[in-house]
């Protein structure tokens, strides 16, 4: 289990991580979601003791990471698959890590097989690895000590679709066996498939968190019609806020029955009426992304 409490990290006047609290539970895959530069990597670096926090704590099963006697056996970490010595072979990198943890050499071969790196690939220098191969090597290094907790920063980056599927199954199995998995991504769809719990971060602050079901259920109703103007008029006349999604549908927090009745009274023919299923989450996420890409951040994200 990972417990993060009131974590803050500032750089000069800039709050990269701003009062972040969440828990990644055992037996669950927790998705840490946010646009680039939202503070995901900084939070993860603080968790594993690479970056000192300005205030707050991050604990692994109740203990600070730096106090674990041999952390590789408890926590598997992959922060950046490219952060390896380019002149070392994949096998050497695993051998050095295994030796540091005090593991037998055969563990290296087991892990190479587990991540499907061939002998020839393992003997190549990392300089000549594709990003996908580096990710596999990084996963192998993280799994080496058979830890109960995995902390992975954008592990699906650079993997092909089959690789992404493989990664998803691996993490699912890991959590099903009782492990704690925290993985970050800036892609909602990538994380939606595998995560049980979601923590959404933007501009250093947590903007939403809960089980995936909760977050998806809270997403409201999605309506389609050829008469969008008529529908929004009817909704606003009834005091119901609505917004138009990217593909021309109308999304509102009101439930489907209420929307259907209002549409009938206003004689607006509907072509689709259903629970939004994550459309709200996606919208919130897009808003976050758009905001972080604009110069001079504007207010308006619900905390």
Partner 1 sequence: MSTSVIDRPVSKARVRGLRSTETIPTSRLIGVELQKMFNTRSGFWLLTGGALLSVVATIITVFADPDLSYGSFAAAIGAPLSIVLPMAGILAVTSEWSQRTGLTTFTLVPHRGQVIGAKLAATLLVGVTSIAIAFSVGALGNVAGSALMGQDTVWDISVGNALTIFFADGLGMLMGFMLGVLIRNSPGAIVGYFVYALVLPAAFGALAAFQDWFERIQGWVDFQFASGQLYDGGLTATEWAHLAVSGLVWLVIPLAVGLRLVVRSEVK
Q: Site residues (CB under 8 A) for partner 1?
A: 26-28, 45, 48-52, 60-61, 63, 65-66, 68-75, 77, 79-80, 82-89, 92-93, 95-97, 99-102, 125, 141, 148, 174, 176-180, 193, 196, 213
Between 80 and 255, name the residue whose CB sits nearer to partner 1. 80
**Whole-angstrom distance, CA of residue 115 vs CA of residue 101:** 20
Nearer to partner 1, 32 or 268 (CB): 32
Number of residues assigned to the chain: 303
Q: Give the span between the Cα atoms of 100 and 73, in whole angstroms.
A: 11
DSSP string, 152-219: EESTTTT--HHHHHHHHHHHHHHHHTT-EEEEEES-HHHHHTT-SEEEEEETTEEEEEEEHHHHHHTT
Two tokens, residue 147: 């830890």
> In whole angstroms, how close is the CB of 71 to partner 1 at the nearest point?
6
16/254 with CB nearer partner 1: 16
Q: Which is nearer to partner 1, 76 or 202 (CB)?
A: 76
How far apart are CB 73 and partner 1 at their closest, in Å? 4
Decide whether 15 or 224 has the Cβ nearer to partner 1: 15
Quote the distance between the C-alpha of residue 29 and its chain's center.
9
CB of 44 to partner 1, least distance (A): 10
Nearer to partner 1, 44 or 159 (CB): 44
Min CB(244)–partner 1 separation in Å = 28
CA 275, 277, 282, 284 torsion: positive or negative? positive
Closest alpha carbon to 245 in 281, 213, 298, 215: 281
Q: How far is the CB of 177 from partner 1 (least distance, A)?
A: 4
Query: Given its phi and psi angles, is residue 277 left (phi above 0), alpha (psi -120 to 50 degrees) or beta?
Result: left
Tell me how far, at minimum, the Cβ of 12 lies from partner 1, in Å: 13
């Amino acid at each position: 289990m990972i417990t993060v409490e009131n974590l803050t990290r500032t750089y000069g006047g800039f709050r990269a991580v701003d009062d972040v609290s969440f828990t990644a539970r055992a037996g669950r895959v927790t998705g840490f979601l946010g646009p680039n530069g939202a503070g995901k990597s900084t939070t993860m670096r603080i968790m594993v003791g690479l970056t000192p926090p300005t205030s707050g704590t991050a604990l692994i099963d109740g203990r600070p990471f730096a106090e674990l006697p041999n952390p590789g056996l408890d926590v598997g970490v992959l922060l950046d698959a490219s952060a390896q010595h380019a002149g070392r072979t994949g096998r050497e990198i695993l051998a050095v890590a295994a030796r540091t943890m005090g593991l037998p050499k055969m563990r290296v071969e087991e892990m190479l097989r587990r991540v499907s790196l061939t002998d020839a690939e393992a003997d190549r220098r990392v300089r000549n690895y594709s990003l996908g191969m580096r990710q596999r090597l990084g996963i192998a290094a993280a799994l080496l000590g058979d830890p109960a907790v995995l902390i992975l920063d954008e592990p699906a980056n650079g993997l092909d679709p089959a690789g992404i599927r493989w990664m998803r199954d691996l993490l699912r199995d890991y959590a099903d066996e009782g492990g704690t998995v925290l993985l970050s991504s800036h892609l909602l769809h990538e994380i939606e498939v595998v995560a049980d719990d979601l923590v959404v971060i933007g501009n250093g602050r947590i903007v939403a968190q809960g089980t995936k079901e909760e977050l998806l259920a809270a997403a409201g109703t999605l309506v389609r019609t050829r008469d969008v103007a008529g529908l929004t008029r009817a909704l606003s006349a009834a005091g119901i806020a609505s917004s138009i999604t990217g593909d021309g549908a109308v999304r509102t927090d009101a439930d489907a029955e209420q929307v259907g009745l209002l549409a009938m009274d206003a004689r607006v023919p509907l072509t689709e009426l259903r629970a939004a299923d994550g459309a709200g989450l996606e919208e919130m996420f897009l808003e976050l992304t758009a905001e972080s890409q604009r110069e001079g951040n504007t207010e308006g994200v619900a905390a």
